[in-house]
Structures are given as C-alpha cells and as structure tokens.
Structure 1
Amino acid sequence: MSYEVVLEDKYYLRELIESISLKDSLDQISYEASIQLKVPSEGLSIAPGQEIRISGVPYSGQSKVHLLNPGVIWECNSSNKSTKHINLMVYDRTIYLVKSEDEFLFPANGTASQRLKKYAKEWDIQLGNVPDTKKQLNKATYRAQAIYNMIMADLRETVKGGGDMYIPRMTPAGLELFKIGSNSLVWKLEATEEVSQLRTLEGAITKVKVIGRRDETKKPSEDLPSKFLAVASSELIPKLGTLQRIIQDEDITTTTAAKKLANSMLTGIQETFSVSGLDINTLRAGDKVELSGMGLIVMSVTHELGDPGHMSLELGTSEYVKRRYFLNG
C-alpha cells in the first residue's frame, strides 16, 4: 500500500494496515480518519491521546505527502476472531476546539482573523497561514460554549457583512484559515463511476424579511409587531410561488446591511451533486473542483484509501454553500 501510518513519530505501521478512510465536511472542523490494523502476535500498544499521522502519494504524484498530520487517537476498538484487529478513530488536533468550552468577550471592530489569533494564544495552538478576513465584527459576548462554535460565529458574521467564506483547517504548519474555493490546483472530475443530481424546492426562498437587532430598552408592555429593516422578493415568485423566510440577526443594524442579507438569501431550485469515482486523496471539504464544465465546491468527501482508492463527494455551487453553511447559521 502506498500509504503510511506513523505512531508517536517513531512506529511505522504500514505492514499492519488493513484499511484507511478519511472524512471531511463543511459541517465539521476536524478531519476524521478510521484506521483498521491487524495486531501482530507480539501485540500492539496503542492508546487514546497518542499522536499519529497518515501520509500517502497524491493522485498523479510521485512522493508521499501528509494527508492527516498532526492527528490524535481518540478511540480504540479491538476485536478478535481468528485474527485480532484494532480500529482507530483519529482526528486532527482541531478536535480539541470542538470538545473544549470557554468564554470570550470581544469589543466591536475586530476581525475573525484577530479573534482566531486570540483563541489560539489562549489555547497554545500553533498558527499557520491566517489571512486578513477584513470585515469588522460587532461586539460579541461568548458565554460557555465550544470554541469551534465561536470561530464559526465569527466566520458567518464575516460573510453576512459581505466578506469572503473561510473555514479553519489544521495543517502541519498549524491552524490556518482557508478561503473556500481558493485551492490553486482545481481537479476536473473525469474518472467518475456515478454522478447523481438532486434538484428540489426544499430550501428555496423567494421572499425574505429581515429583522435587525431588537431594542432591549423597551419594556415588555411596549412590545410592538416586528419592524422589518428590509424586504426582498424574487422574480421567481410567479413561477415557484412564495416561499418566505423571516430572518432575525443581531449582527444586522442598518437598512443597507439588511437589504444585502435579504437579497443574498433569495434562491430558487436547489441543486447538488453526488459523485463517486477514483480517489483524489488530497481533496478536502471547501476545495473547488470542476464537473462537466461547472465550478463546484466540495461540501463533504469520504476517501477510501487504497491502490486504487475510491471517493464519494457531495458538491454544490459557491452560492449554495454560502447560503447553507454561512447565511443560515
């Protein structure tokens, strides 16, 4: 097998590998691996918390690269029939941002990039490439919650303010912010086994009303019907009917911002693609690919590593990704 699993930076387990799968999704921060190993007669000492990495030769490449590094063993599950096996559940180290809670108070006008650096400093996380997300954010009071939720709240507010879409990624260089669709190598999906297309009105929005931040100085007896900062209607209403959403967003404080958000939420028939085929083992969620001349974003990917390997992808347009993962959050 053209893949290598290294435990604690010194134990090479290639000869014990039975299968490796990698899963990545825009719904999750941590790259996830499932590794099944056969246990030699002399035994195998592996425990949760140990460091592990996975390397492999990229599709059409020559030399190995890190596919998941740094990784941490999260769970060990062993079985014994005629031969003893052990299955390892592994995550990259952003799992600690998912499983850990804290509180942070941020003043207005900082950016998602600046806040990420604050989280990293507090948790002693090494940072890699963290581009300037540029959009200034509102004041935030984050009470006890997962740090990952705070990061994503910052990144969603960035998009709602007209900024670019970013997701956090752990790399050998450290925690980075990756701009969705910015990968320099855009793969054309040609060696496909099956391509299915889903078109549905589920999730379509043809009219939007936006409520901004409520006035908390009013007494309950003074409550009035909601005041809408903006209303947007789609030209598709005569064809698709009225499918209305009411959005209340504490980050929206001006009519201009409300109109921008309302218009960005309008959408017609929802279209996604599911693709299976030969594995391109370096593809990650958030990468851009090309399918039949269309530029699409990988929303989720499962790699079954092998020679050859196999992969399953869920794809959507950039606008669909924006609405699904950033504007609806």
Structure 2
Amino acid sequence: MSDYEVVLAETYYLRDLVEEITLEDSLDEIAYRASIRLTVTPDCPAIAPGQTLRISGVPYGGKGMKELLNPGVVWECSSSNNGTKHLSVTAYDRTIYLAKSEDERLMQAGQTASQRLKLYAKDWEIKTGTVPDTRIALARSIKRCQSIFSMMLEDLKETADKGGDLYRPRMTPAGLELAKVGGNSTVWELETVEEVSQNRTLEGAVTQVKVLGNQSDDEKLSPVLALVKGETAKYGTLQKVIQDCKIETVAQAQKAAKNALLGMQETFAVTAPDINTIRAGDKVRLNGLDLIVTRATHRLGTPGHMELELAAEAKVRRDFCA
C-alpha cells in the first residue's frame, strides 16, 4: 500500500499497518465510506470511534499524494485475533452527520437548493467549498422530522423536477460542495476492463406521465396539469401519476413529466483496474457510451481494482426525481 497513507488524528501514520482499504460511494448515500483492515502491533495507537481520519493516495495517472477522504471520522471498530490481531475500521467523511441527524424546519419560498445547503451546513458546523448557484426558486416547505440529508435531497429533487441540473452533495477537503452529476472535467474512458455485464429491462419503465394538481374538493377528481406521452407505441402504455404540491404551473408539470419518462432501462456493471478518483455522479465512457457512475467501489492497492455500476443520465435523472 505504498501509494496510500492513512493518518489518524493528524498524528499517527498507519501505512505500515494497513492490509486493505476499500472506498465506497453511491448516489443513494451522501457520505464516502472507507473500510480499513489493520494489523495490530504493540506500537499501534488506540483507535476509537469519533477520532479524525484521512486517507490520501497517488491519483491514477498523476503524481504526488491527493486527499481521497478528508475530513473523515472513525465510526466503528471491530477486532479479531487468529494468532495475529487485526482491527477493522469503518470511517466516513463528515457528511455522515447530515445523514444521521434529524430536524424539523420551515423553509421559505424563493430559496434555492444552494442557499438551503449552506444553511444546513452552517447549523451543523460543516464548512462549505464550491457551491454553484442551482438557480431554481423552491416552494415554501415544512420539513417534518427527517434527516438533514433527506431535506437536501428534497431540495435537489425539486430543482431537477423544475428543469434544473442534477446535483449531489459531496464532501471535499475544501468543505461540503455541490457536484453537478456528469459535470466532472476529466471523463475517463474505460478501455481496460476485466468484466462487463449489461442488464436491460422494462421493469420500472414509464412511457406516459400524468401530472395532477391539488384538489381540495373531495367530490371531484384532481385537475390534470399535463399528460405527456413517450414511447407508448414501442413499449405500450406504462403510466406514472405525479401529484406534488411544489409543482405549481403547467410548464413545471410538463418538465416534471418529461423527466419521469423512461423506456427500456439499461445498466452496466464493470470490474476494472482502479481509477481511484472516480466518484458516484461522475461521467465515464464505456464502448463509446457516456454513462453516469451510480455506485463506485475502490479496492485500493498497487494495482487496485474497482467495481462500477453505470447508467445513462436519463435513467439517473428519472430515478433521482422518482
């Protein structure tokens, strides 16, 4: 593991004790997760949940150390002894606090997802880095008891529903940021792969979308704001109904409906030599196709290996907005 460094509490350098490091990232989760297996020696420092931890490594195709997980926090430790004592450590970046903490909030109309993210981060004493303007004005929202992460997802979903770009929160050494899905400057071509599997299905397909407005009269049906057809002639009618109080105009309804349309769903699973800087939400290229990483598992090493789950951006947007 000479290309990687694990530092505990900004004091103890554990490189010589590290047996394995795995980094896992998913669009379904906010926190980057590290699983580390260590050999416990007499000079091994005491490791306990709550301590800070960072992981650095030489980026694929680059030089010098780059921080891959920082700021991180030790979340769980477990030990085993089969003649040699081993310690398994699970650590997350600090966005884990946003996933594990709940609150109730009243958010005013006209705020953007960017503005709200900064408010959440400030209250949880998490500094922010680059937070682009998401531009879309959001509706007034009473967020009942739920995790801060779920509040952020609601804001980002509403932004996408109303025609905005897709974003995901991501912790970096500079602080909590909003990364545009597929907006990475370096798009890696997956040329050398060990295994590729492809799955195509109509399960979950949507070829027609009806968007309903709010109806306060229990004796009447809800008004139809939009009815948008997709590939009904090719795949048949598979209708989804959307009723969301945050959709206030016909134009917003049509955008939300178009975002929900999706025919045959295609996903890929790739095992390949590791490119250790690829994150969930990044765009990659496979056999000429531009695809979005929905889940990434990096088994660090020299050489390392990675397992990626990939999907087209249209599917990612539809699943995100569902």
Show structure 2 runs of 5+ residues with no match.
none
TM-score by length of 1: 0.95
2:223 aligns with 227
Give the whole-Å Cα distance in 1 for the aligned partners of 2:313 and 2:239. 22
2:107 aligns with 106
Show structure 1 runs of 5+ residues with no match.
none
Give the whole-Å Cα distance in 1 for the aligned partners of 2:224 and 2:294. 33
Please state how far the C-alpha of 1:317 moved relative to its aligned partner: 1.1
Question: Which structure 1 residue ranges, 4+ long, deviate > 2 Å from structure 2?
Answer: 41-44, 212-215
2:45 aligns with 44
Please state how far the C-alpha of 1:225 moved relative to its aligned partner: 2.2
1:275 aligns with 270
Give the whole-Å Cα distance in 1 for the aligned partners of 2:265 and 2:43. 55
- Where 1:262 maps in the other structure, the secondary structure is helix
CA contact (8 A) 2:261 2:318 kept: no
Code of the aligned partner of 1:187: W
What whole-Å deviation, never above 9, does each CA across 1:86-135 have from its counterpart, x for those lacking one? 00010000000001111221111110011111112212211100110000
- Where 1:36 maps in the other structure, the secondary structure is strand
CA contact (8 A) 2:270 2:308 kept: yes
Q: Which moved more, 1:248-257 or 1:222-231?
A: 222-231
Give the whole-Å Cα distance in 2 for the aligned partners of 1:42 and 1:93. 28
Query: CA separation of 1:171/1:201 partners in 2, compared to 1, >3 Å: closer, same or farther?
Result: same
Matches within 5 A, 1:279-290: 279-290=274-285
Please state how far the C-alpha of 1:213 moved relative to its aligned partner: 3.3
RMSD, aligned CA: 1.1
CA contact (8 A) 2:12 2:45 kept: no
Give the whole-Å Cα distance in 2 for the aligned partners of 1:43 and 1:180. 40
2:161 aligns with 160
Code of the aligned partner of 2:219: D
What whole-Å deviation, never above 9, does each CA across 1:305-329 have from its counterpart, x for those lacking one? 011000000111111110012x20x
Give the whole-Å Cα distance in 1 for the aligned partners of 2:268 and 2:82. 40
1:252 aligns with 247
Please state how far the C-alpha of 1:42 moved relative to its aligned partner: 4.4
TM-score by length of 2: 0.97
Please state how far the C-alpha of 1:43 moved relative to its aligned partner: 4.9
2:85 aligns with 84
Give the whole-Å Cα distance in 1 for the aligned partners of 2:121 and 2:50. 20
Code of the aligned partner of 2:96: I
2:195 pairs with 1:183: no
Code of the aligned partner of 1:17: V
State the percentage of identical aligned residues.
57
1:119 aligns with 120
Matches within 5 A, 1:305-316: 305-316=300-311
1:241 aligns with 236
- Where 1:268 maps in the other structure, the secondary structure is coil
Count of aligned pairs between the two proteins: 321
1:148 aligns with 149
